[in-house]
Amino acid sequence: MPVRVRKRKLGIVLTVLLFLAGTILLFKSRSAYKEEKKDGFVSPKSPSLLKPVPALQLPKVMTNITGRVYTVEGMLSQAAMLNFRQTVRNKDKFGDHRAEDPIIVVQTHDRHTFLKLLLDSLRTVKGIEAATLIISRDKFTEEMDKVIDNEIDFCRYIEIFFPFSMQLHPRSFPGDDPNDCSRDLAKAEARRRGCNNAECPDMYGHYREVKFVQLKHHWFWKLNMVFNGIHEVNKNTGPILMLEDDNYVVPDLIEVMKKMENARKSLCPDCLAITLGAYDATTDYKQLGAHADVTPWVSSKHNIGMVLNQDFYEQVSACAEHFCKYDDYNWDWSLQSTALKCIPAHLYTVVTKVPRVYHLGCTGFHQKQGGRCDVETEVKRLTSMIDTAEGLFPSKIEILSTKKTPNPTHPENGGWGDVRDQELCQKYRTLAGDYLKQDPS
């Protein structure tokens, strides 16, 4: 990929060095593991020998690069600067974040086309100029960088980057270490070979696959960062909406989110979440657009368009050990088990009858023959529906029904048996809190 190169001023170089030095101090006591002959995260032969040691060495400072850069050293530097500086873009146009302003968090990987579609839909939302958008990434690509740099002109935004992504650690844990056990290797053979995580297969006898475990890592790291690690939105009192890059939103999103929050506070104060999304749902805004239900949170139904608050975070954070040790690489199934086994009052959500967040991915009616996503057709259908919909922007939200029977347990899906993943996951609250201790200026 092309790299833009020009000379850097000495002051910028010194700033980068300071931030990178801070990175080393930050990670010094984190869940990181080192093999004698290699840098990075690896595990000793036995989980009982795991202990925190200094992890990340100081990346080579790219003193002659001021733009985006796609070497491992350059990306490590860039990720560290994003997370420490937490620069608020468009602040000159939209001002500081106020405690009551809505926050919209987007978790994204490398699907730049989907991200642009989501941003296009957010641009149409009434009141979006008062929101703060947080883009949480785990991969640098030129296409993604162009979208983020050029397409967000409708609100202030902050870009953060998951520092333990497989892209930043291509040959060591938490990425793919060459000496890690392959997924289907038998445990006896793994022990014979002496691969790093021979003692840590999942409940089905499989070893970790990085591209899958990263999803749960990123989600939980992002949750801790949003509630406990970003200066601009610290102690926020407004609603916090969680989106993914394959979502698409409706223009009354923010107004409905606020009205749903008011309904939650008055009619279901023990509900820890709101659900604004659905996968296959009605679009009858005229008849049902002002209605909602209270129900136990279900992974397969309520993991899209979640609106969370500080109480949710404190409850889930207190249950980090269960969440992080639960043998399922899916964050949502892990959350459902956490709600049932650890959260004292369970996890209930207020669910809108007609969604304000839709899913553009390959599920249900979004598929065409051969399993390929026909996203263009789906966006046209959604925009046509929104343009002609009656019943958007309801004056209030009415809760029609309440179900408070907890859901039964769900079988673990596995993929999360490695003790290194479990211990790293449990460090995220502390790690996020350490960002708040740094001066981002």
385-418 pLDDT per residue, tens: 999 999 999 999 999 999 988 888 889 999 999 9
pLDDT at residue 18, as a whole number: 36
The two tokens of residue 317 are: 């954070």
3-state secondary structure of 134: strand
3-state secondary structure of 358: strand
374 pLDDT tier (thresholds 50, 70, 90): confident
- What is the mean predicted confidence (pLDDT) over 243-263? 97
178 pLDDT tier (thresholds 50, 70, 90): very high
pLDDT at residue 40, as a whole number: 37
Residue 42 has pLDDT above 50, yes or no: no
pLDDT at residue 371, as a whole number: 54
Amino acid at position 380, single letter? K
Amino acid at position 136, single letter? S
Question: How many residues appear in the chain?
Answer: 441
238 pLDDT tier (thresholds 50, 70, 90): confident
pLDDT above 70 as % of the chain:
82
- What is the mean predicted confidence (pLDDT) over 419-432? 96
Residue 276 has pLDDT above 80, yes or no: yes
Q: Provide the phi-psi class of 338: left if phi over 0, else alpha when psi is between -120 and 50, else beta.
A: alpha
With 0-12 CB in 10 A as exposed, 13-18 as middle and 19+ as buried, what is 44? middle
**d(C-alpha 414, C-alpha 150), whole Å:** 39
pLDDT above 90 as % of the chain:
74
Amino acid at position 67, single letter? G
26 pLDDT tier (thresholds 50, 70, 90): very low
Asked if residue 246 lies in contact with residue 359, where contact means CB atoms within 8 angstroms, the answer is yes
**d(C-alpha 312, C-alpha 319), whole Å:** 11
Look over the chain and give the mean of its residue pLDDT values, rounded to a whole number. 85
329-355 pLDDT per residue, tens: 999 999 999 999 999 999 999 999 999
**d(C-alpha 60, C-alpha 58), whole Å:** 7
> What pTM value is reported for the model?
0.85
Residue 258 has pLDDT above 80, yes or no: yes
pLDDT at residue 16, as a whole number: 39
**d(C-alpha 90, C-alpha 328), whole Å:** 39
Q: What domains does the chain contain, in order, with CATH numbers? A: 90-437 (3.90.550.10)
More confidently predicted of 46 and 166:
166
Residue 251 has pLDDT above 60, yes or no: yes
17 pLDDT tier (thresholds 50, 70, 90): very low
**d(C-alpha 259, C-alpha 250), whole Å:** 15
Q: What is the dihedral angle through the alpha carbons of 67, 69, 73, 76, rounded to the nearest 10 degrees?
A: 70
**d(C-alpha 345, C-alpha 92), whole Å:** 43
Q: Is the peptide bond before 174 cis (omega within 30 degrees of 0)?
A: yes
**d(C-alpha 8, C-alpha 412), whole Å:** 51
C-alpha distances out from residue 279 to 199, 334, 360, Å: 39, 20, 9
Residue 203 has pLDDT above 90, yes or no: yes
- What is the mean predicted confidence (pLDDT) over 182-195? 97
Instruction: Give the DSSP letter string of 293-312.
Output: EEEE--HHHHSSSEEE-HHH
